[in-house]
Structure 1
Amino acid sequence: MALRFRRRIRIAPGISLNLSKSGIGASIGPRGAKISVGSRGVYANVGLPGTGLAFREKLNKSGGRRSTSALAGAPSAGKILEQQLKTGGSAAARVRVDENGEVVITDDDGQPYDETELRVLRKYAGEGMRDLLQQACDRLNADLSALATVHLDTLPPRDTPVFQARAFSEPEPQRWTRLKPTLWCRIWPPAGRRLEEQNEQRAGQYAHAFSEWEAAARAFNEQERQRRKQETELVLTSLDAMANVLEEHLGEIPWPRETNVSFDLGDDASTIAIDIELPEEDAFPDVEYNLAAKQAKVSVKKVASTRRRMLYRDYAHGVAMRVLGEIFHRLPTVQVALVSAYMPALDAGTGQPTESYLYSVLVTKPQWREINFQALADIEPPATLERFELRRKMTKTGVFKPIEPFDVEALASCRAQLID
């Protein structure tokens, strides 16, 4: 589920915004002249581009960002900040929105700005901060949005095995550089011997690191060779290889909510039965974050029950599409798939755990080919499953009633009809 990204957005001359999952930073000021504001103080940074020369001076000599305002007759931290921004300086700021919708703006050291400083920041970078708050809302709403879009990465069917090679991710150890002797090492033998010992130690450390890296690379390449053989050769004849391939790739899917999939391959490798254990509706997000129209504030609203049911409906059917895509893409010999989805429940008569099936669908590979996989964004998963042999009792607002799923006899009958 985790998303990791870092993006740098330029919003105006002298103003740039840094966006990452851990927070948002703003820097205001031209190249070569910046101001850093942190809990350890306010620093002016001035450099001469192209020369490598730079100057750094602490502006509030007596301590942290707010200590200046505590001195008798000294300007407030807000005044200092505004003066620096007016004269081309910069201010570092992080914007964070918590789960309750509270907006927290801090410096790079995590110290919150006071109200006067916040007014200055809104004055000079108000629109940029609103954009960042909207990005924060989008991140908080990501789980909610993902429920209706789980089908967008559904794969098309293939008749030949497919293999995607993976690169060895561990970088090669950096080669060591020999320390050069100084004049003192040349005229003082003990210093020369210490330098030589350091060089030998560095050479040994590099040799050890490179040996470990080489061994890890060989092991990885061997795993890739075996995986290639399994996914391009054995997958055509071995049920165990088919199960391994499908299990591995289903496990790599970043499901928005925990979703368990179990399957059983037929003896002739042309059929497969899949059971999907769906999460309960209560496990889905029930709040949504929205940015206020004109203020840098975030509101938290409950998701309407009808909309929540519709999201659950889309997720329940989207999961089936995603699983069917993996089957017909990874397992070339499979011609018919039976997918049944259920939620855990308690038997009303015995109180024992049982399954409440929401739908059951039989899909053949020729039928699956009829989907336009280039237009998945325009597809509604509930309507897609209706194109196949489907058992389902569902209202227009996404309320499911239990059904009796197809059995293996129905799967075998569907396979026989396909052959005929």
Structure 2
Amino acid sequence: MGFRFQKRITLFPGLRLNLSKSGVSMSAGPRGASVTVGKNGVYGNVGIPGSGLSWRERLDKPSGRSRSRNEGHREQGPCEQAPSLPPMPTSAQARLVGNGIEIVDGYGDPIHPAHLSNLKAQMRHQIRDFLQANAIARNEATEALRRLHHDIPRSVAPAKPSGAGKPQSHDYPCHGEFMEALMKWRADQANSRSDDSGVAEAVLNALGALDWPAETNIALDASNGRLLLDVDLPEIEDMPTARWNSVISRMELAEKAMSQKDIAGFYLDHVSSVIVRLIGHSFASSSAIRSVALSAYTQRKTATGRLSDEYVATVSVTREAWGTVEVSQIHAIDPHNLLRHLGANIDTNARGVLLVQTPLS
């Protein structure tokens, strides 16, 4: 968005009204020689067009206070040229560099320091909105870790046979025998229920297609309609530890540290969201899955300081029990409360630290 800081309105030839941040003044006279009347007094202006040379002298008498304040200062002579100052840019924009605001002109070039205070004053509302929007965006990325389960599909994919045992042409002496074996295999697959390999393949494809913001490793086993998931969760040390606020007075974004209790609560929400997401996508991947048994662990330091895998959550859910969940309203469901409703073992101590559980097998 551009910002214009001065506008001249021609009233009639030789007379102009000048509007700027410093106030309103009026100029009279031809180009190169004019008289300006404004709140700072009456000035005569003489300049040679195109040369950059000009002379300016006050024509009225300044007040006594002004005279004493300027006393001792040498007046600029008619042949002396004031130090050059780049003109005020006709447009400016704010951008975020690191956590602070940088103001540049419309071409992205730096602005002379002498103009920055005026530009910041002119753009204060835009800068405020810009900082607030960036703080919200950063905090939203953090909050997304609690809402991973919001993408659970409502529909369930039909069971599909796996590709295991499919005839390969190089295993047969002639094309005719290969086609005969292939047709028989296809008929057998069409008349049979999905096998365990097909279930595992469907789950792997479904979970592998998801975007995971933090590293989450999964091992699975499918047997007779029961899916067993073993989940390596992100550590609590991987969780955000601060939130962002916009500080308008300093024109920057600042971090506000979260308490240890808040971090522990955030971690519980994230773990619960991960588990609900895995269960929901697993059931949706294949109608052959009749139950999901999940155990989740994380690496934590023991009393001796060594890292150890500790299971912190387990849950076993049947398709019938999952069918009671209103997936269309999943965005309004608290994942931790849902897991407790489904009979999960996921508890914390008084400090919010997840307690150790016995894994399922």
TM-score exceeds 0.5: yes
Partner of 2:324: 370
Q: 1:322 aligns with which of 251, 254, 277?
A: 277
SS in 2 for 1:141: helix
Q: Please identify the structure whose Cα radius of gyration is greater.
A: 2
> Is structure 2 residue 211 aligned with structure 1 residue 254?
yes
Matched letter for residue 319 of structure 1: V
Contact 1:151 1:376 in 2 (8 A): yes
Q: Decide whether aligned partners of structure 1 residues 381 and 28 sit closer, same or farther in structure 2, where only a CA change above 3 A counts.
A: same
SS in 1 for 2:212: coil
Partner of 2:310: 356
**How much does 1:73 deviate?**
3.2
Partner of 2:235: 280
Contact 2:154 2:328 in 1 (8 A): no
Contact 1:360 1:391 in 2 (8 A): yes
Higher helix share: 1
Matched letter for residue 88 of structure 2: I
* Residues in 2 aligned to 1:248 and 1:28: alpha-carbon distance in whole angstroms: 53
> Is structure 2 residue 336 aligned with structure 1 residue 382?
yes
* Residues in 2 aligned to 1:288 and 1:235: alpha-carbon distance in whole angstroms: 54
Contact 2:206 2:282 in 1 (8 A): no
**How much does 1:142 deviate?**
3.8
Contact 1:134 1:291 in 2 (8 A): yes
Q: Decide whether aligned partners of structure 1 residues 123 and 394 sit closer, same or farther in structure 2, where only a CA change above 3 A counts.
A: same
Q: 1:105 aligns with which of 103, 106, 112?
A: 103
* Residues in 1 aligned to 2:359 and 2:278: alpha-carbon distance in whole angstroms: 17
* Residues in 1 aligned to 2:317 and 2:254: alpha-carbon distance in whole angstroms: 44
Q: 1:155 aligns with which of 145, 153, 177?
A: 153
**How much does 1:322 deviate?**
0.7
* Residues in 2 aligned to 1:116 and 1:335: alpha-carbon distance in whole angstroms: 72
Q: Decide whether aligned partners of structure 1 residues 28 and 399 sit closer, same or farther in structure 2, where only a CA change above 3 A counts.
A: same
Which segments of 5 or more consecutive residues in structure 1 lack a partner in the other structure? 1-14, 16-26, 30-71, 85-89, 163-228, 408-420
Partner of 1:290: 245
* Residues in 2 aligned to 1:314 and 1:122: alpha-carbon distance in whole angstroms: 41
Give the 4+ runs in structure 1 shifted more than 4 A. 107-111, 233-236, 345-351
* Residues in 2 aligned to 1:113 and 1:122: alpha-carbon distance in whole angstroms: 11
**How much does 1:104 deviate?**
3.2
CA RMSD of aligned residues (A): 3.3
* Residues in 2 aligned to 1:234 and 1:121: alpha-carbon distance in whole angstroms: 75
* Residues in 1 aligned to 2:268 and 2:192: alpha-carbon distance in whole angstroms: 33
Q: Decide whether aligned partners of structure 1 residues 349 and 96 sit closer, same or farther in structure 2, where only a CA change above 3 A counts.
A: closer
> Is structure 2 residue 291 aligned with structure 1 residue 336?
yes
Which segments of 5 or more consecutive residues in structure 2 lack a partner in the other structure? 5-80, 161-185
* Residues in 1 aligned to 2:155 and 2:322: alpha-carbon distance in whole angstroms: 7
Contact 1:159 1:333 in 2 (8 A): no
> Is structure 2 residue 252 aligned with structure 1 residue 243?
no
> Is structure 2 residue 130 aligned with structure 1 residue 132?
yes
**How much does 1:354 deviate?**
4.4
- More divergent stretch after superposition (129-138 vs 390-399): 390-399
* Residues in 1 aligned to 2:191 and 2:205: alpha-carbon distance in whole angstroms: 15
> What are the within-5 Å matches in structure 2 for residues 76-95 of structure 1?
76-77=85-86, 79-81=87-89, 84=90, 90-91=91-92, 93-95=93-95
